Every structure is written in C-alpha cells, then in structure tokens.
Structure 1
Amino acid sequence: MEIAILGIALVVLLMLGVPVAFALLGASIACFLALDIPLVVVFQRMASGISVFSLMAIPFFIFAGDLMYRSGIAERLVQVAGAVFAPARGGLGLVNVGASTLFGAVSGSAIASASAMGSTLIPLMREKGYDGDYAVNVTVTAAIVGLLIPPSHNMIIYSAASGIGVSISDLFLAGVVPGLLAAGLLGLTAWLVARRRNYPKGTFPGWGALFRAMIYAMPGIMTAVIIMGGILSGIFTPTESSAIAVVYTILVGTLVYRSLGLRTFLETVTQSVRITALVLMIIGAATAFGYALAIMEAPAQLANLITALTDNPILVLLIINVALLLLGTFMDMSPLIVITTPILLPVAMQVGVDPVHFGIIMMLNLGIGLVTPPVGSVLFVGAAVGKIRIEQAVKTILPFYVALLVALILVTYVPALSLALPNMVK
C-alpha cells in the first residue's frame, strides 16, 4: 500500500508540472506520513545524501565546464575539429561530433556541450546550407559523449549512490572507449545522413592551419590530461582534481586566451551556483525517496521479481536497459541515478556484472533519455539554441537514436569495452 502511495504521489506531482526535486520530496513526505515516520527523518536523509565528500567535485566540475565555455576553449576545439573533418561530405556534422567529443573530455557536461557547440556551430551550419533539424540533432546527440568521456560529474553521483564505494578513477577510465565508440557511430550516422541530403563538402585548410589550431587549442585540451594524469599518478584525488580544473581553467582563460574578464567570471559563478543548487537539491530529495523505497524493501522485491523471471545475465541486462530507457524519458538523469542505482546495481551484480561496467551502462542509457521527449533537457537546449520546434527535431532524429542504441548494446554486452582500461592500470 505504501509503495503505491509513493508511486502515485510522484506520478501525480510530475503530471502537475511540479519540479522533479519537489515531486520526489512530496512523494517521500506522503509515504513517510503513511508509514507514521516523523517527517524530520526526510530532511535528515536529504542532508545525509548531500553530505558526501566526493560530491564536492560536482560544483567544481560544473564551474570548470562553464568557465571553459565562456573563456573561448569551445571555439578553439571547433577549429581543430574543423581542420580535420571539414573536407568530408557534410563535414560540419563531423566537426560537430569531433568538437563535442573534445569538449566533453574537458567539461563532462552534456548540457554545457549542447550550449557551447550549439551556439557556435548551429548558426554556422545553417549558414552553409545545412537544415536546422540536422544541425540540432547532431549537436544534442553528440553532447551525450560528454557523459562518458572523463571527467563526468554524473559518474561521481553514481559512485556515491552505489553505497559500495565504486572507484571514481575506474569509472573515468571506463568511459573513454565507450565514449569514443559512441562518437564514432554518431559521426558515421552524421556522414550518412549528410550524403543522403547532399550537403556540401568543405575544404582542407592546410597542414599549417591544422597545426596552428592544435597549438591554440592545446591549453584547453591539457585540462583533461592534467585531471586524468594527476588522478592516475596519485598526485591528487578525483575530488581534488575538480578544484585544480577550476584553477587551471581560470589561468588559461585569463593569461593564455585573455577572454575571461571579471564580468564573465561573475556571470559564470552565478550560473554555476544555480546549477549546483539544483543538482544537490535533486540529489537530496532523491536520497529521501530512495530511503523510503529501502524501508519498504522495494530493491529486494524488484530483485526477486527479476530473478524469478530469469537469471540469464543477457536477459537481466535487457530488462534493466529497457526500464532505464523508459524512466529516462520521464525524469532527469541525476535523480534517476540516485534512485535506481541502489535498486538495480545489486540485481546486476547478482548476475555477475561488474559495478564499474554497470555504471557506464547507466551513463549511456540515461544519457539517451536526455535527448528523448518529453523530459529531454539536452534536446530542449539544442532546439532552443537552433531556434526550431522540438517536434521538428524529433521527426528526423531516429538515425541518431539508432547509433546511440547500437553503442548501448555493444557497451552492455561487451564488458571489455568498459573494463579494459581500468584493468590495464591496476
């Protein structure tokens, strides 16, 4: 009965348009009242959910990503990708995927990538004769790569939600190959669609221009090298690396590129504080919601239900993937990670799935939800930047969905794609 109250309350609140954090909080309160548990426990669980040291990395990575966007690093990455991919048919689509992959390697945020690449490339693509729906579809789906290429603050949330201390360093390494795989499949799709629509070819600017573009972009690219190099060498922890990323980005923006002024810096601080507050509020509310589920032993019941249906790892992972894909269309990524990880991770581990591998499956799976209506936040950002209707983008996005789903299938059923690098450095 209490589980029904929790679920119905959440669905009703979301249908009424209540923000996700408050819908989770309201459903938790309704459940606690039904269970006759003091409401102070709700707020205790919220506080404990965000009082995790590793979560300190989230505001720093958000801040660093926004600084990278505003300090001109994104434009320099576009120049590198443009010099490499522009000569191909529909080359600007490949430039978009390549630049998004590079930007993901230094920002780790899908929304930041969609904003940065969208504002830079979508107007240019339309000016060169590309359709608006194509430009938006390439931009938003390529932005998903940033969730896999380290650093990714969603991996930090997963590590905290797992309850077993999944290594953040291992998660960062595990995302590299799947991220490159997803980028490759999206690039192939962008090229095939461009050929079918007969988009124009670009011209190769010359080896000198490519070399100069790489030199100009190198300070920004070094952000990812410093972060991962420092973590793997043991010089600093993933949490410390987030603070170092902020300091390094400020130095690059002010001393190297000289594009980060006081006004821009203050705007970045304000925006980052807002996003951080939203993310942490969602994490806190989702923690209280997850605690309510745990009290009613919902994770154990779900595990028993799935294992009663089958104990075949292939089928279990298929069920989990389908469930996550459906949930991802209705709820944002951060709360879903906090809610579903304690429920689904034990089920996956019961059939022999490595928790690091499962984390990458979850990142890619829920990332697809970010570009799927009705709650596809990255899709909404891309459509807004591209100045087209959501319906117009969705009509032609299917080939890019297929590319992401193929990547998801490969990542799910070929564990070596995720685990080879972490195992190599152990």
Structure 2
Amino acid sequence: MALQAAILLFSIFLILLVIGVPISISIGISAIVTSFLVVPPEVALFTITQKMVNGISSFSLLAVPLFVLSGNIMNNGGIAKKLVNFAQVIGGRIPGSLAHTNVLGNMLFGSLSGSAVAACAAIGGTMAPLEKEEGYDPSFSAAVNIASSATGMLIPPSGVLILYSLVAGGVSISALFIAGYIPGILMGLAVMIVAYVKAKKNKYPVLPKVSFKEAMKVFLDAIPSLLLIVIVIGGIVFGAFTATEGAAVAVAYTFILSLIYRNLTLASMKQIVLKTAVTTGVIMFLVASSSAMSWVMAYTGIPQAISELILSVSSNKVVILLIMNMTLLVVGTFMDLTPAVLIFTPIFLPIATQLGLHPVHFGIVLVFNLCIGIMTPPVGSVLFVGCSVAGVPIEKVIKPLLAFFAALILVLMLLTYIPEISLVLPRLFDLI
C-alpha cells in the first residue's frame, strides 16, 4: 500500500505543480485523492478537514505572523539604511568593501526580519546603486546579494525554524534559534571569502577610512535596531518569554522604533497590516494542507517505506546523509523553503534520528540545504528578487553564483558531518 500511495501522492502533486496550480492547493488535492485509496471518501474528507484545522491550532505558530509583521514594519521603518551604514563601518576596509557591506547588511537585516526575500530587496536595493557607481560588475553584486540573503533564515528569529519545530514534534524553538547562529554566520563568511577573492582579482575599491568619531556615531545610530536581537532572542533563550511572546515584543519594539524614526504613517501601516494578512493567509493554508499530507503519509506508511528504501541502499551513515543532502538540494530547486520543510521533515527526520542525529542538528542541516534552493532556478524566490533589484537578467547571474554555491555546499558538508557546529551553543546554554 505504501508504494501505491507514494506513487499516487507524489505523481498528482508534481502534475499539479507542472500545470501551474499553487503549491498549497496541489498539496491539499494530492492528499485528498490519495486518502481515498485507503479510507472511504466521507471518512477521508472529515479526517483531512480535522487535520488541517488542528495543524494551525497552535500557540507557537502565532509567532510566524507576528515575526512577519515585525519584518514588514522594519522594511518601511528606515531601519535598513541604518544597518547598511553600520555594516559599511565593519567591512569598509576589506577589498570589495561594498560587497562585504551587502553580506553583513543581509545578515543583520535578515536576522531582524526573518525573511530572505525582505533582506534581498531592502539591502540589495540600497547597495546595488552604490556598487554600480563604484564600478562593480552588476552581475557580481547581484550574486553576492542573492547568496547572502538567506543567512537570516538561520540566524534567529526564523519563522522556518519555528515551523520545523512544530512538524518535528515539539523540538525546542529556543535550541533551534541558538543553534542557527554559527551556521548562519558561516554562511555569511563563506560568501565573504568568495567575494574577497573576486574583489582582489577585479581590483574593486576599498571604502575611505572612517574616523573613530564617525564610526561611533554610526554605531550609536544602529544600537536601537540591534537591541531587537538582544531583547527578543535573549528573552526567548533565557526563558523570559516564549517564541510567540517574543514575536509580539518584536512587533511592539519595531513599531515604536519606526515612529521615533518618523518613517511610519497611518497609510503605510494600513498597507503593512494588509500585506502581513495576505502573507499569513498563504503560510497558514500551506501549513494546513501540509498537515493533511503528513497524515496521509503517516497513515499509508510512506515515511517508513522511504526510510527502508534509503537504508537498503547503504548502511553507511556518511553515504545516507549524502543521499539526503543531494535529495534536499534538488528539491530546493523547484520547491520553496516553507513547503519543503513541511513535507520533507516527516520523511527524513525518522531516518536522521535512526542514524543518531539530534533533531536540532538535522533541522539546521535541512534548512541550510533549502536555503541554497531559494537561490537557484527555476523557482528560487531570492534569485528573482535579487536580479530584479539589481536590474540584471537571471542568465547573467548564474555564472558568478556558481562559486558561491560551491562555498555554501562545502559549509553544508561541514555542518552535516560535524554536529557540534550546530549543537555547541544549545549545549552551552543547557537547551539540549
């Protein structure tokens, strides 16, 4: 039954995706049709409806729309420019200074907003004209921006890690958040190393030296924005509040900060709330549909069948992890990060735990894999946004992106086979 169900489920899902049906609807329809194979239609429809409702009935899940709202307020609140100025001070004396500023800006803004697309648009939109003026190749600038935008999906707060926690069966959100710091920073450093080599080769300029007084002014300007990380993540990790309460604090803090900066109006706030509502609706329907698919897969034994199939290929842990990574990298090229986490966590997590991987370690590896996917064609959301803000055709960005992909895959292999990179901080804070 598992084989028949798997073939039917994934065939319908892929066919619907190919003909252009939205991914959440594709997931729901494929789950409903497959459920008819194993239970009577009236029972299937009742159970799937129940699973969809239960899938979004979670207090922890409230953190996602709140972090989305916080990120949208930041996009319109003048915070991005202050972070770019701060990043310029940090990376200003390295060859290819503006490229490094872009990377650091994405790491800072992405960690505050929790959105790769928002970071790519906000920081890339600010940096692209500056880099063009300084003689940077627009394709190279776009590649740097695209390759570093996803750092915020690992550096907390991250909505994707919250979703993984829920699908994985209550893995500690605090542990996942703190575990994402080193991998996220490594992702940024990998991009900076490649950018440094390219900048030296092409003799890209170094920014003029900034006086200590000017640097301190920029730093003091950025402190209110940077404090958001300290307040929210510190509060969550040390137990002052839950992830959901931390998200509410983030909304209140960014709202007050934007009012102080005088970059928020009643009209813009209305648009921010509307945009947040639309994004939340999409995410919640996706989570609900994925909950239905997860139930169908569990009921028909698909995860167990896939686990047995992979384990039958080899008993070598190194080989099995390599197969899982390769699968996720391919999946990431045609599926967005959120649905991929929701669908593949219940399939691969049992295999990972059977191999002795900690669920927190596996979650970081899974998200890192899929972060690479959102930079790649044919459906990479960050790829399209990055090319759009830089005004560069996609085909011209692919070649300079290859070196960044190679560096990121090397970091992925290190994360996969050296668990302590992800687990050292959660253990240090006694979270696992």
TM-score greater than 0.5 by the shorter chain: yes
* Match for residue 343 of structure 1 among 341, 344, 347: 347
Residue type matched to 2:408 in 1?
A: L
Structure 1 range deviating more: 86-95 or 236-245 = 86-95
Q: What are the equivalent positions in structure 2 for 1:46-125 lying under 5 Å apart? A: 46-125=52-131
* Aligned-partner residue type, residue 243 of structure 1: A
1:181 aligns with 2:167: no
Task: Give the number of equivalent residue pairs.
Answer: 424
Runs of 4+ in 1 over 6 A off after TM superposition: none
In structure 1, give the amino acid aligned to 2:133: E
Is contact 2:297-2:303 (8 Å) kept? yes
**Please, which of 364, 382, 388 is the counterpart of residue 386 of structure 2?**
382
CA distance in 2, matches of 1:316, 1:207: 52
1:229 to 226, 234, 254: 234
Residue 319 of structure 1 aligns with an amino acid whose one-letter code is: I
Question: For residues 213 and 266 of structure 1, what CA distance do their matches in structure 2 show?
Answer: 31
Q: Give the match for residue 298 of structure 1.
A: 302
Q: CA deviation at 1:88?
A: 2.4
Q: CA deviation at 1:66?
A: 1.3
Q: Residue in 2 aligned with 1:26?
A: 29
- Mapped to 2, the partners of 1:119 and 1:270 lie a distance apart of 23
Matches within 5 A, 1:76-225: 76-163=82-169, 165-225=170-230
Q: What do the CA deviations read for 1:305-330 (whole angstroms, capped 9, x no partner)? A: 12222232222211111111111111
1:370-405 per-residue CA deviation (whole Å, 9 max, x = no partner) reads 001111011111111112221111122101111211
Return the match for 2:249 from 244, 253, 276.
244
Amino acid at match of 2:414: L
CA distance in 2 between counterparts of 1:375 and 1:291 reads 27
Q: Contact conserved, 2:103 with 2:148, CA < 8 A, in 1?
A: yes
Please tell me whether the aligned partners of residues 60 and 246 of structure 1 are also in contact (alpha carbons under 8 angstroms). Answer: yes
Residues in 2 aligned to 1:37 and 1:318: alpha-carbon distance in whole angstroms: 39
Inter-partner Cα distance in structure 1 for 2:28 and 2:392 = 34
CA–CA distance in 2 between the matches of 1:411 and 1:41? 39
C-alpha deviation, 1:196, in angstroms: 2.0
Offset of 1:44 from its aligned partner?
A: 2.1
- TM-score normalized with structure 1 length: 0.97
* 3-state SS in 1 of match to 2:348: helix
Unaligned runs of 5+ in 1: none
Say whether 1:400 aligns with 2:404. Answer: yes
Q: Aligned with 2:127: secondary structure?
A: helix
Confirm whether residue 421 of structure 1 aligns to residue 425 of structure 2.
yes
CA contact (8 A) 1:174 1:422 kept: yes
Residue in 2 that maps onto 1:310: 314
Q: Aligned partner of 1:392: which letter?
A: K
* Aligned-residue offset at 1:295: 1.7
More displaced, 235-244 or 202-211? 202-211
Q: Secondary structure at the match of 2:263?
A: coil
> Is residue 83–residue 209 contact of structure 1 (8 Å, CA) maintained in 2?
no
Percent pairwise identity = 38
Contact 1:110 1:145 in 2 (8 A): yes
The worse-fitting range, judged by mean Cα deviation, of 289-298 and 31-40 is: 31-40
**Shift of residue 197, structure 1, vs aligned partner:** 2.3
Deviation, 1:40, is 3.1
**Mapped contact 2:163–2:342 kept (Cα < 8 A):** yes
Instruction: Please say which of residues 30-39 and 361-370 is displaced more in the overlay.
Output: 30-39
Shift of 1:423: 0.3
Which amino acid in 2 is paired with 1:229?
G
Residues 168-222 of structure 1 show CA distances to partners (whole Å, capped at 9, x for unaligned) of 0000000011111111111111111122222222212221111111100110100
1:326-360 deviation per Cα after TM superposition (whole angstroms, max 9, x unaligned): 11111111111111111111110001100000010
Q: Quick one: distance in 2 between partners of 1:416 and 1:208?
A: 40
Contact 2:111 2:153 in 1 (8 A): no
Aligned counterparts, 1:328-339, within 5 A: 328-339=332-343
CA contact (8 A) 2:83 2:109 kept: yes
* Aligned residues of 2:70 and 2:251 also touching (Cα < 8 A): yes
Decide whether the 8 Å contact of 2:5 with 2:302 is kept in 1. no
1:146 is paired with a residue whose SS is helix
Q: CA RMSD in A?
A: 1.3
Provide Cα deviations, 1:238-269, integer angstroms capped at 9, x if missing partner: 111000100011111112x2222222222211
Asked whether the equivalents of residues 132 and 386 of structure 1 are also in contact (C-alpha less than 8 Å), the reply is: yes
CA apart distance, 1:37: 3.6
- CA distance in structure 2 between the aligned counterparts of 1:66 and 1:337, rounded to whole angstroms: 23
Distance 2:66 2:11 in 1: 36
Distance in 1 between the 2:281 and 2:103 partners?
A: 30
